[in-house]
Structure 1
Amino acid sequence: MKRAIVHIDMDTFFVSCERLRHSELVGKPIIIGGGERGVVASCSYETRYYGVRSAMPMKMALRLCPEAKVIRGDMEFYTQKSREVTEIIKENVPTFEKASVDEFYLDLSGMDRFFGCYKWSQQLAQSVVKNTGLPLSFALSSSKTVSKIGTGEAKPLGKLEILPEETQPFLNPLSIRKIPMVGPSTYQLLSRIGIRRIHTLSQMPLDVLERLLGKNAQDLWRKANGIDLSPVVPYSERKSISSEHTFSEDTMDTFQMQSLLNHMVEQLCFQLRREQWLTSVVSVKIRYSNFDTESRQMKIPYSAVDHTLSHIVKELFKKVYTRRMRLRLVGVRFSGLVHGSHQMNLFEDTEEMIHLYQAMDRMKLRYGKNAVGRASGFHFS
């Protein structure tokens, strides 16, 4: 059966959400992000014209486009709109993957016999726009990689179908930077030996690439040749990560419990960032000495940062621990996961805070997850 994979990307999602609430922002240069010492979480096409990009320091962005209007951002509202888009897709698509808060893959393989995948995708896109008010672009091809590249080429407000026989002619003239797995360092390495276009990369002998790039060479070469058999991973709100601790002796020591909760949150947040997840549901569970078990959960804006999630966990713990009775177990669970960079949630934080998390994560990756941490959680490290 011929594969039919659609990639949907909401156009400048955070900016579009703000324009829904404030129509006077339409057509104006917009930057979503923190204060002067923060970073750009999202920006409108009007600011991109001046070179502004996501994750750029705010100071630099405002030097490039001083007339831009800066909005601190409302992740709770963006999360709500993301869920609205997800629900529409869920109602209409048999198999889809939520790749991030504003990005989806749909597997429509086999549907062309009944309706036509491209026409069906157009109607779904129209339904999303009509019901949410948010613009989007999509591309249809036989693989996730080609469709994602296609969406990037179609933006903004674009719709593109890339037939199997058109795949290589479509890819060939594009920069290798268009391939999702090519970051700045890989691009610099390849460009130094004259590989800047996908056509050149697709023609390179595989053994030469392997000597240059190691284990990633084969996957990169395949994608340059339009070959990507990776499946659309069905989306499920049930995805979660969790941590539980059973005390050696039942306890009412709240200082010990707070220290343990801090440690759990820190370890789980590191896992979220390492695996590029964001959580939207936080749960806290306790078990009393008589084995009664209770839990509380809260839906939150997507996040993966310790200080935000630690505060929520502490609040949930206060609400669930209501009896003056010893505890034998506490647990923390993050669910409602989607893929995405934790930086998109740092509207309130400084560039220094972002760099601190990145530095801590690098140390943990190199020396182990307990190599560095907050003093409040060291009791259980």
Structure 2
Amino acid sequence: MDTKRHIVHIDLDSFFVSVERKFNPSLIGKPVIIGGSADRGVVASCSYETRKFGVHSAMPTRQALKLCPDAILISGSHGRYSEASHEVTQIIHDAVPLYQKTSVDEFYLDLSGMDRFHDSYKIASDLRQKIIKDTGLPISFGMASSKVVAKMATNQAKPNGQLQIPHGKEMAFLAPLPIRKIPMLGEKTCQKLYEYGIEKIGDLQRVDLRFLQTVFGKAGLFIWEKARGIDHSELVPHSDRKSISTEHTFGTDVKDRRTLETILVSMTEELSSKLRRENKLASCLAIKIRYANFETHTQQEKIALTAAEHILIPGIKNLLSKSWDQHRPIRLIGVRLSNLTTGSYQINLFEDNEERIRLYQAMDNINFKFGDKTVCRAAGMEIGTRNFNPFLKG
């Protein structure tokens, strides 16, 4: 029996830019930056036309526009990206038995064992073509014996390409690449390796493990293995996700409680609706606060399993009261629901309030049909009362 692993890493090229170009073809071929405001934001995604000027994601937008003054700046639409990501996820879900979604635009597939019946590389190639045909989005993939090599193969295949690294050829493929191409290898680690004259992965492959352990401690083995393409980590199936979160960066720092609570209510509604759609319940809620000086605080609280806003929203408001120094303005605020488990919200979790059950079902049905946030609560409404819209009765 063949025990060789066949891992595929899929990446949607310049995902946010590609989605925007699908809706506005006039952007094709032009330098595009998706991100926050020119004075305070950061680059979320950028087209290949901007990258040749040195622009990259997570760079301050101000700096990116200095490097590429002709770039078209777009604030972006989370709804569009979420919809496109869901579309791609569904195609993958229908095609392969085991996959891991690691971000909105990135997936790992495990095709190990499938080559007894079909050629694994052909399966991946056909899937890529189907995604391109059905969604109109460019996509790249790498295929190898481990997650780390598959990801590095994808990076070499971009843009809009594919690359297979045969078993036994991992070290030869990695050798000519710069050490900074190794995922999770930080800038400080690279600088330290440069000091020893180690610039290419091939240089790293020739270094003794004991030397790396002496210099980097426990991380030495991680570095040594990755340089050889050794990575035994398994895929975590998409359904095993343990948390969902969202955050909002303000255009100007905010210290008005009503504004903060309005945003928190909106974010909590969005997340709890998503939980119900995915048939999940959360037993831990957390709030994230980043002040103007970038100091960041999180506070969390255990709760009974739920996907109900009337329980989650007061909990989130309470965490805001506990964790916020009200003399300091806030730059970013976020909500995370975690310790997720599969299960439907039941009437007894809603305190046997049928009216409330019908409200959630009606909201979820409308939002599912017409898109998130089509209908939501008035943010200032007292959650937990029976003051619901009369049109939802009966």
**TM-score, normalized by length of structure 1?**
0.69
Q: Distance in 1 between matches of 2:225 and 2:202?
A: 12
Equivalent runs, 1:14-53 vs 2, <5 Å: 14-37=16-39, 38-53=41-56
Give the CA deviation at 1:211: 1.9
CA contact (8 A) 1:35 1:72 kept: yes
Give the CA deviation at 1:265: 10
Give the CA deviation at 1:258: 6.8
Query: How far does the alpha carbon of each residue in 1:50-76 deviate from its partner, in whole angstroms, 9 at most, with x for none?
Result: 111111111111111111111011111
Equivalent runs, 1:301-320 vs 2, <5 Å: 318=381
**What SS is found at the alignment partner of 1:85?**
helix
Give the CA deviation at 1:245: 5.0
The equivalent residue for 1:58 is 61
Structure 2 vs 1, CA of residues 141 and 238 (structure 1 numbering), >3 Å: closer, same or farther? Answer: closer
Amino acid aligned to 1:55: A
The equivalent residue for 1:340 is none
Give the CA deviation at 1:111: 1.2
CA contact (8 A) 2:314 2:383 kept: no
Give the CA deviation at 1:320: 5.6
The equivalent residue for 2:189 is 186
CA contact (8 A) 1:7 1:147 kept: yes
Percent identity for Structure 1 against Structure 2: 45
2:323 is the counterpart of 1:321: no
Structure 2 vs 1, CA of residues 316 and 211 (structure 1 numbering), >3 Å: closer, same or farther? Answer: farther
Q: Distance in 1 between matches of 2:334 and 2:105?
A: 21
Structure 2 vs 1, CA of residues 270 and 214 (structure 1 numbering), >3 Å: closer, same or farther? Answer: farther
The equivalent residue for 2:248 is none
The equivalent residue for 1:249 is none
**What SS is found at the alignment partner of 1:165?**
coil
Give the CA deviation at 1:220: 1.6
Equivalent runs, 1:76-155 vs 2, <5 Å: 76-155=79-158
Give the CA deviation at 1:180: 0.4
Give the CA deviation at 1:263: 5.7
Give the CA deviation at 1:322: 3.4
Aligned mate of 1:262, from 295, 300, 320: 320
Structure 2 vs 1, CA of residues 270 and 292 (structure 1 numbering), >3 Å: closer, same or farther? Answer: closer
CA contact (8 A) 1:258 1:314 kept: no
The equivalent residue for 2:264 is none
Q: Distance in 2 between matches of 1:269 and 1:313?
A: 19
The equivalent residue for 1:161 is 164
The equivalent residue for 2:289 is none
Structure 2 vs 1, CA of residues 110 and 187 (structure 1 numbering), >3 Å: closer, same or farther? Answer: same
CA contact (8 A) 2:33 2:45 kept: yes
The equivalent residue for 1:225 is 228
Q: What is the aligned-residue RMSD (CA, Å)?
A: 3.5
2:176 is the counterpart of 1:173: yes
Q: Distance in 1 between matches of 2:380 and 2:233?
A: 41
Give the CA deviation at 1:257: 6.3
Q: Distance in 2 between matches of 1:113 and 1:196?
A: 40
Give the CA deviation at 1:318: 4.1
Q: Distance in 2 between matches of 1:156 and 1:265?
A: 44
Amino acid aligned to 1:6: V
Amino acid aligned to 2:229: G
Q: Distance in 2 between matches of 1:222 and 1:86?
A: 31
Give the CA deviation at 1:286: 10
Structure 2 vs 1, CA of residues 316 and 236 (structure 1 numbering), >3 Å: closer, same or farther? Answer: farther
Give the CA deviation at 1:166: 1.7
**TM-score, normalized by length of structure 2?**
0.67
CA contact (8 A) 1:181 1:220 kept: no
Amino acid aligned to 2:26: E
Aligned residues between the structures:
297
Query: How far does the alpha carbon of each residue in 1:267-311 deviate from its partner, in whole angstroms, 9 at most, with x for none?
Result: x95878xx9x9xxxxx9x9978x67596758789xxxxxxxxxxx
Give the CA deviation at 1:317: 9.1
Q: Distance in 2 between matches of 1:36 and 1:75?
A: 19
Amino acid aligned to 2:87: E
Structure 2 vs 1, CA of residues 265 and 74 (structure 1 numbering), >3 Å: closer, same or farther? Answer: farther
CA contact (8 A) 1:33 1:58 kept: yes
Give the CA deviation at 1:313: 10
Amino acid aligned to 2:124: S
Q: Distance in 1 between matches of 2:240 and 2:321?
A: 25
Q: Distance in 1 between matches of 2:319 and 2:26?
A: 44
Equivalent runs, 1:288-367 vs 2, <5 Å: 296=360, 318=381, 321-323=384-386
**What SS is found at the alignment partner of 2:69?**
coil
CA contact (8 A) 1:261 1:313 kept: no
Amino acid aligned to 1:79: S
Structure 2 vs 1, CA of residues 24 and 270 (structure 1 numbering), >3 Å: closer, same or farther? Answer: closer
Give the CA deviation at 1:101: 0.5
Q: Distance in 2 between matches of 1:142 and 1:263?
A: 49
Structure 2 vs 1, CA of residues 256 and 128 (structure 1 numbering), >3 Å: closer, same or farther? Answer: closer
Structure 2 vs 1, CA of residues 196 and 66 (structure 1 numbering), >3 Å: closer, same or farther? Answer: same
Structure 2 vs 1, CA of residues 30 and 323 (structure 1 numbering), >3 Å: closer, same or farther? Answer: same
Give the CA deviation at 1:114: 1.4
Structure 2 vs 1, CA of residues 103 and 63 (structure 1 numbering), >3 Å: closer, same or farther? Answer: same
Structure 2 vs 1, CA of residues 182 and 286 (structure 1 numbering), >3 Å: closer, same or farther? Answer: farther
